Structure 1
Amino acid sequence: MHVCRSLCSVSFRISNSHETPMAPMRPLVPGVWVPTLTFYTENDEIDVDTIATHTVRLAEAGVVAVVTLGSYGEGVLLSPEERSLVNQAHRKALDEAGFAHVAVIAGVTAQSVKAAVALAKDAAAADADAILVVPPSYYRAFVNDEMIEDFFTGVADGSPLPIIIYNYPGVTAGVDLTSDLMIKLSAHPNIIGTKFTCGNCGKLARVANAVEAVGPLNPDVTVDKGGYLCIAGLADFLVPALSVGGAGVISGPGNIVPKTLVRVYNLFAEGKISQALVVQRQLSQTDYVLTNLRPDGAKIALQKYFGYGGGSRRPLKRRLDVKALGELVSASNIEQMIAFERSL
C-alpha cells in the first residue's frame, strides 16, 4: 500500500507561519545528479571560478541537478559562511550559463536538529532547491530508530526546503536506516526522497514499492504531485536501481564522467535496456575505482584529464598523488572510460 503524502509542501518550500512563504522550487526531476566537488585557491579559500567552470561542465553534460557539500564536496570541512558561498557560486554559475532549470541540492551535515535547520535556512537563502541530510551519528552508542526519526522529523518540521535523506553508513559510523524507517519517514510532507549510498538495491526496491516512486518506470509521477525520489548513491547499480523504481543516481564519479552516466540513464529511459547494460558493465568496473578516489583523488583525475582540479583541505590534502593515480589507472579501465566520455 502506497504512503499518502501531502502535496502542498513539495510544491512550495515550507515556512513558519510568521515567515513569508518562499517561491516554488525548481522541479526535481529523475536523472543524473552529481555531488559536486569544492575547489580551493592556493591560499585555501573557496575558488568560485573553478566551481563555476565545473558545474557548467556538468550541466552541459546533461546533469539535471548538482548536489553541493556532500562527502565529495567536503561540507564538514567548511564553515557555515563558506557553505553559503559554495551554494551561491553554483546557483549563480548555472543561471548565468543558461541552466536555470538545473537544481541545486545543498548538503547538510549537522548533529543537532537546531544546527541542521540553521544550515537549511542558509541554503534557502542561497537559493538552493532542497537539502540532502545525513542522520546523526556522533553519539553512536545511543543512535536508534527513535532518535533518527525524531531527528529527521524535527529537521523536516523546521526546514524551509524539502529534505532528501542521505543514507550513507560509510560516513555515519555505520548508521544504516532500515527500509521500514525510510517508508515511515517518507510520510512526512517535507521529506521527498532518499539517497541510497548504502548500495542496497533491495532496500531501494522495498521503499520504491511502498511510495509513489518517481522515475522512468513511473513517468507520470512527479515530486510536485507527491512523488518520492529513490536515488542510487553509486553508479555501479544504476540500471538495477532504475529497474526496481529508482529515480536515477547521485554519484561522485559523475564529476569525471558525467556524460557516461547520462548515457546509461537515457538508454534505460528510452527502453534500450540491453544497450544500457553494455555501458553499465563498463561503468561498474570503473565506478569502484573512481568512487574510492574520493574528493582529493577525483580532483587529481580532473587535473590529469580535464586540466583543472587542485587539492583538498587537510586532512584530505595529498592523500593520493599523481603516481598513485597512475597505478590505479593501469589497474583499471579508467582510460577506456575517459575515452568513451570524450566520444559522447
Structure 2
Amino acid sequence: MGENSVEQKFQGVIAVVLTPFDKEENVDYSALERLIEFMLSKGIHGLFPCGSFSLGPLMSPGERKKVLEFTVKVNRNRVPIIAQIGAINTKTAVELARHAQSLEVDAIASIPPFYIPTDEEAIYAHFKEIIEAVDIPVYAYNNLWTGRIISPGLLKRLIKLGYQGMKDAGENFPLYCQYLWESPASFNLLMGTEKLALPALSMGGKGFTSGTVNAFPELNVELFRLFKEGKLDQAAKLQQKILKLVEILSIGPEISTMYTCVNLRRIKFGQPRRPLRPLSLELQDRIKNRIIHLGLLEEPYY
C-alpha cells in the first residue's frame, strides 16, 4: 500500500474486469492475462475484479480467490486494485475481505447482501462486520442489480464507520450528486457506469468504473484525458460515442455482448458462464456491423 489517499489513488478509468471461461466453464486464465495486459497497455488507471460484470456472483468463493490472486500477480503493482468481496452472506464476504487483504490489494468493495429480504439495520451490520475484519480501505458498492439501493442516510453511517469511498452503479444521477454533496471531501465516490462518466466528473467526481473498457479502453481513457485538459466539447462528443456503444450492448444480454466485443478486438478470449450464454452468430454479426459503423474497428481501435 502506498502513501497516497484513496481519493488520490483511485482516479480516472477503473476497469471492471470480465472473467473468461472455457467450454467446460472453468476460468480461462490465459485469456484473463491477455485481457488485463491489453487494458493496461491502453492506459487504464485501475482494476476492479470479481464484481458483477466480472460474474463474481456466479463464481464460488474459491474461484474468486484464485481470480484475485491471478489478477494481482499479472498486474505487478502497475495500477491500484479494488477487489469486490461482496456476497449474499456476511461470513463469505468477511472471508473474501481477509483474503484480499492478505494479497495487499489497495482496497476492497462490497455490494449489500442481496436476494434475501433484509432491513437497513441488517445491511448496516453486514457492512460493519466487513470493515472491522480488515485494516485496508473499504468501499461500499451501490449496485442497481442487487435490488438494494444504499440510502444517503446509510452512507453517512458507513462513513462514520470508516468507509473511505463508494462505487455508485445505481444509475441515478441526482442521487449520485446527493451522495457527493453530503460526503466529506476526502470520500472517494466513483461513478459506477461509463454512461454517466462525464457528468460525474463535471460534478467533482474523481473517476469512474467501466465495462466497455474491456473491449474499448481507448474511448474511456481518452474521455478522462480530455476532461482533465479542459477540452469539454471534445469530451462531450466522446461521451456520446460511449453512449452509442452502450446501446449496442443491448442487442443481446449486456455482459454476453461484451464478450463478443472483446473477441472482435482480436483478443482470443472465451465465453461467459451459465446461465449467461454465448451469442448466436446472427447476433454477433449484428454487433460487429454496428461497431464498424461506429468506427471502432478501425485504427487506432483495431
Question: AA paired with 1:133?
Answer: S
CA distance 1:288–1:159, change in 2 (3 Å): farther
The answer to whether residue 118 in structure 2 is matched with residue 159 in structure 1 is no
The residue that corresponds to 1:168 in the other structure is 143
Deviations along 1:145-203, one digit per CA (max 9) or x if unpaired, are: 22222221221111343222111122x1x2111223223322322x1211111111222
CA contact (8 A) 2:31 2:270 kept: no
The residue that corresponds to 2:277 in the other structure is 317
CA distance in 1, matches of 2:2, 2:112: 21
CA distance in 1, matches of 2:61, 2:113: 18
The answer to whether residue 101 in structure 2 is matched with residue 124 in structure 1 is yes
CA distance 1:341–1:278, change in 2 (3 Å): farther
CA distance 1:200–1:85, change in 2 (3 Å): same
The residue that corresponds to 2:85 in the other structure is 108
The answer to whether residue 280 in structure 2 is matched with residue 308 in structure 1 is no
Question: AA paired with 1:181?
Answer: L
The answer to whether residue 12 in structure 2 is matched with residue 31 in structure 1 is yes
Question: AA paired with 1:117?
Answer: V
The answer to whether residue 258 in structure 2 is matched with residue 285 in structure 1 is no
Percent identity, aligned pairs only, is 25
**3-state DSSP of counterpart to 2:296:** helix
TM-score, normalization by structure 1: 0.79
CA contact (8 A) 1:257 1:341 kept: no
Deviations along 1:7-60, one digit per CA (max 9) or x if unpaired, are: xx9969xxxxxxxxxxx9997321000110112234432222211111111111
**3-state DSSP of counterpart to 2:14:** strand
Question: AA paired with 2:165?
Answer: G
Q: 4+ residue stretches of structure 1 with deviation over 6 A?
A: 9-12, 24-27
For residue 39 of structure 2, the aligned residue among 39, 53, 58 is 58
Shift in Å, 1:265: 0.9
CA distance 1:341–1:208, change in 2 (3 Å): farther
CA contact (8 A) 1:67 1:105 kept: yes
CA distance in 2, matches of 1:137, 1:195: 16
The answer to whether residue 220 in structure 2 is matched with residue 268 in structure 1 is no
Alignment of 1:9-158 (within 5 A): 28-95=9-76, 100-140=77-117, 143-158=118-133
**3-state DSSP of counterpart to 1:246:** coil
For residue 336 of structure 1, the aligned residue among 276, 294, 297 is 294
Shift in Å, 1:281: 1.2
* Aligned-CA RMSD value: 2.6
CA contact (8 A) 2:32 2:269 kept: no
Shift in Å, 1:92: 1.3
Any gaps of 5 or more consecutive residues in structure 1?
1-8, 13-23, 214-226
TM-score, normalization by structure 2: 0.90
Shift in Å, 1:235: 0.8
For residue 237 of structure 1, the aligned residue among 177, 196, 201 is 196
Question: AA paired with 1:169?
Answer: L
CA contact (8 A) 2:168 2:191 kept: yes
The answer to whether residue 188 in structure 2 is matched with residue 207 in structure 1 is no
**3-state DSSP of counterpart to 2:52:** coil
Shift in Å, 1:125: 2.5
The residue that corresponds to 2:155 in the other structure is 182
CA distance 1:340–1:33, change in 2 (3 Å): farther
Shift in Å, 1:337: 4.8
Shift in Å, 1:126: 3.1
CA contact (8 A) 1:107 1:132 kept: yes
